[in-house]
Amino acid sequence: MNEKLLELAARRGALGVRIAGQRQTLAREAEALSGVFSAGDVVLRGVDWLKQHPLAVGAAVAGAVVVRPRRALRWAQRGFFVWRGWRAMRNTLSRL
């Protein structure tokens, strides 16, 4: 075989060993974040539920407006500002 091909095969093998070690290190260190990830999964399941049940969301909003109109307006304003900030951040990150 060509000497250059042998050298490339040896480097590839060494890189494979190095990558395997990095994967093990990453898995070991990521265990500490499993609680955060599971909490994030719960939030995402809640968001999915809200997307699948828009009538329930609408009824809750209507109830809040009827019971406490000023409080509902304040929360609507806060929600609007959060939504606007989220969109601005998402657009900025997508440009990067």
32 confidence band (pLDDT: 50, 70, 90): confident
Q: In the chain, pLDDT over 70 holds for what percent of residues?
A: 99
Domain identity same for 2 and 37 = yes
1 confidence band (pLDDT: 50, 70, 90): low
61 in any annotated domain: yes
Give the mean model confidence (pLDDT) for residues 26-44.
Answer: 90
Domain identity same for 96 and 67 = yes
Q: What are the helix (H) ranges across 1-96?
A: 3-30, 34-52, 54-67, 69-95
Domain span holding position 9: 1-41
Domain identity same for 27 and 58 = no
47 in any annotated domain: no
Domain identity same for 37 and 57 = no
**What's the pTM value of the predicted model, to 2 decimals?**
0.50
Domain identity same for 60 and 95 = yes
**Overall number of domains in the chain:** 2
35 in any annotated domain: yes
Give the mean model confidence (pLDDT) for residues 36-56.
Answer: 93
